[in-house]
Structure 1
Amino acid sequence: MRHIKLNQPYPNLERPLLKREQIAEKDSSDSGELVLLQTAQGQDIGVALMGAEQKSVACLISDRSDVTADQWLTQSVKKAIEKRKTYFSDQETTAFRLVNAEGDRLPGLTIDWYEGYLVVNIYTKSMQLYLDKIMELMKDFLPVKGAVLKRRYHSINEADSKWIMGEVAPEPLVVKENGLNYACYLNEGWMTGIFLDQHEVRRYLLETSRPSDRLLNLFSYTGAFSLGTAKKGGHTTSVDVANRSRKLTEEQFQVNGIDPESQSIYVFDAFKFLPYAKRKGMCFDRIVIDPPSFARTKKRVFRITKDYPELIEESLLVLNKGGELILSTNAANWTAKAYDQMIADSMKKAGRKYSYLKSFGLPNDFPTPKQSLLSHYLKVRVLKVD
């Protein structure tokens, strides 16, 4: 095993990702090899996987100096499954994150469980070397029906997706989350129809919704945030600029026994919908704002840090007194402190008083080292607005 001496700060298991400046250029590699990291004085730190990705050039996978590839993979897969015991035993939820990259000491790899089917995302070429062994371990430890692989390092626009093991999942595959049904498509690019990292937010909406509620869901995609309110008898308005969103949202209502005609679905630019809603006299008790970090339409380029304040200010004009704003972002480079300051500034500019009801980050099935700040990307704030 090759030895590499590092520049400070030295990594540890709570800060496992190595930046380029910590490794001499001659020692860098994208080969997927395991190397022994050492301090400048030659003291062993542990074993790391070499492989460049957006966040790092290598990742510490063990603080032992003698760990082998088979030991690392077997222990990591076993521990990842053990962490999700409560999810596997929950009959009301059949889709969740099974492996979360460096949080499960398998950097550059995520695996999602969809009722026996695996959605495998690889972000680095280096992890490809270990894929066969990981799939063997999954079959040994779990009743896997099939697995679809998405190589996300091939293209910034679309995943290279193909089935690599077992049977192909039906389309749609209907999974459960908090007792609700979700129609999913596992082999259609990066997205499947539901963002699993938001399941705690969806649970909150389900558990606290009332039949009298009127909810506006902006950037609604398949309408997942609308289901809890609709299931409780409330009325939802789902808005997304993509033409496919209408059919997908209708399907989500249908698989839950909800008549799509009882809800409102708009194919509409969210920025244009809010003034439209104001003109039409629409008012809502809850507004969910969950935009992408970056998006381009024919007439607009959306950048989240620049344009989010406008969404908040326009939403306040159609929010009932005492209503809730559910504000979400997955922008990894936007710190929680800066995000909260943006919210405070926007509310002050609008002259509205508010209080925080809830705050959500990544759920327990998305474990992340405490000091891997870029991996703590999800920030959700629930505000009650006076």
Structure 2
Amino acid sequence: MSPPQLHIITPPEWEDYALLDSGQGLKLERFGDYLLVRPEAEAIWKPALPTETWVRAHARFQPLSEESGGTWELSKPIPERWMVRYKNLRCWIQRSTSRHVGLFPEQASQWDWIQECIRAAGRPIHVLNLFGYTGLATLAAAQAGARVTHVDASRKAITWARENQSLSGLQEAPIRWIVDDALKFVQREARRGHHYEGLILDPPKFGRGPKGEVWEFYKLLPVLLQACREVLAPEPVFVILTAYAVKASAITLYYAISEMMSTWKGHTEAGEVTLIETSAGRLLPTAIFARWST
């Protein structure tokens, strides 16, 4: 078996988002009119922009611990929430007790790919989105004409996703919103004989279901994938799996070695899901993914 060809995926140009710079374990981002500084373990290099640019940020997330989250320190007035747009999709950005703000902008190229798969199928598509969070992948699929079942263990995330649905003008789209444990839901769907032409999976490293069910990525992912296999339609269209759990990255090594060897001529290659800085053009690795399509 020949080794896989790895690809570097970067999102198309955003109007309402930009990774301005990264380095020393942080990233400086623009969401709409507001600048945020958030932790980023992959950014082991030095920032390209001067300190004066970084201090212009409206808010900076200060982590306390992985278990207890952290707090946002505000240096300028900033609303509790504000809207950003990607093409015809809209999403609320909001600070919380975690560093997440309701949007993973690096996934935009995946939303485009999902839409391409659905439109190319030329037939009715039912998509299952597991660990769907605030719903941008669900809304992208619905916008392309799919019927979507969206599952997340967090009622707050589902509420947020439904608000994004209204923002995006997709109130009448055929979306079923489910608060449930992803694995239990898929196992029940298999027993019911329900099938899907498209699957979107974005499981966390660790999580809890609405009834205290424990999710552990390495332990339960094989079980989940087997259950998902049983709910695939006879003629599936696409399957996409994203993992933010495994942070070991060839791209991280790429920049470490490139910086160390910057005074010598040479060549380094790597590949995964990334954001590109507007400052120095470096690729910031954010996740790994695998996807299948017809």
Cα drift, residue 93 of structure 1: 3.2
Q: For residue 113 of structure 2, what is the aligned residue in structure 1?
A: 204
Separation of aligned partners in 2, 1:110 and 1:260: 37
Structure 1's unaligned 5+ residue stretches are 1-83, 101-105, 337-358
Superposed counterparts of 1:268-307, under 5 Å: 268-297=180-209, 298-307=211-220
Render the CA deviation track for 1:307-336: whole Å, top value 9, x for unaligned.
111111100111113322101111235678
1:264 correspondence with 2:176: yes
1:325 correspondence with 2:239: yes
1:246 and 1:123, CA in 2 relative to 1: closer, same or farther beyond 3 A? closer
1:159 and 1:123, CA in 2 relative to 1: closer, same or farther beyond 3 A? farther
1:182 correspondence with 2:83: no
Using structure 1 for the length normalisation, give the TM-score: 0.58
Separation of aligned partners in 1, 2:208 and 2:97: 20
Q: For residue 6 of structure 2, what is the aligned residue in structure 1?
A: none
1:188 and 1:368, CA in 2 relative to 1: closer, same or farther beyond 3 A? farther
Separation of aligned partners in 1, 2:124 and 2:71: 44
Question: What is the identity, as a one-letter code, of the residue corresponding to 1:238?
Answer: H
Superposed counterparts of 1:92-241, under 5 Å: 93-100=15-22, 106-122=23-39, 134=51, 136-137=52-53, 147-152=58-63, 154-156=64-66, 157-165=68-76, 167-169=77-79, 171=81, 173-186=82-95, 189-210=98-119, 212-241=124-153
Question: What is the identity, as a one-letter code, of the residue corresponding to 1:207?
Answer: E
Question: What is the identity, as a one-letter code, of the residue corresponding to 2:190?
Answer: K
Matched residue of 1:311: which SS?
helix
Cα drift, residue 201 of structure 1: 1.0
1:216 and 1:123, CA in 2 relative to 1: closer, same or farther beyond 3 A? closer
Separation of aligned partners in 2, 1:197 and 1:180: 15
1:368 and 1:332, CA in 2 relative to 1: closer, same or farther beyond 3 A? farther
1:208 and 1:120, CA in 2 relative to 1: closer, same or farther beyond 3 A? same
Q: Higher helix proportion, which one?
A: 1
The sequence identity of aligned pairs, in percent, is 21
Using structure 2 for the length normalisation, give the TM-score: 0.74
Greater Rg by CA: 1
RMSD of the TM alignment (CA)?
A: 3.3
Question: What is the identity, as a one-letter code, of the residue corresponding to 1:137?
Answer: T
Separation of aligned partners in 1, 2:88 and 2:118: 15
Separation of aligned partners in 2, 1:299 and 1:161: 28
Cα drift, residue 192 of structure 1: 0.9
Alignment: residue pair count = 252
Separation of aligned partners in 2, 1:123 and 1:222: 21
Render the CA deviation track for 1:12-42: whole Å, top value 9, x for unaligned.
xxxxxxxxxxxxxxxxxxxxxxxxxxxxxxx
Separation of aligned partners in 2, 1:304 and 1:361: 19
Question: What is the identity, as a one-letter code, of the residue corresponding to 2:226?
Answer: E
Separation of aligned partners in 2, 1:285 and 1:252: 24
Question: What is the identity, as a one-letter code, of the residue corresponding to 2:191?
Answer: R
Question: What is the identity, as a one-letter code, of the residue corresponding to 2:274?
Answer: L
Structure 2's unaligned 5+ residue stretches are 1-9, 251-270
1:252 and 1:260, CA in 2 relative to 1: closer, same or farther beyond 3 A? farther
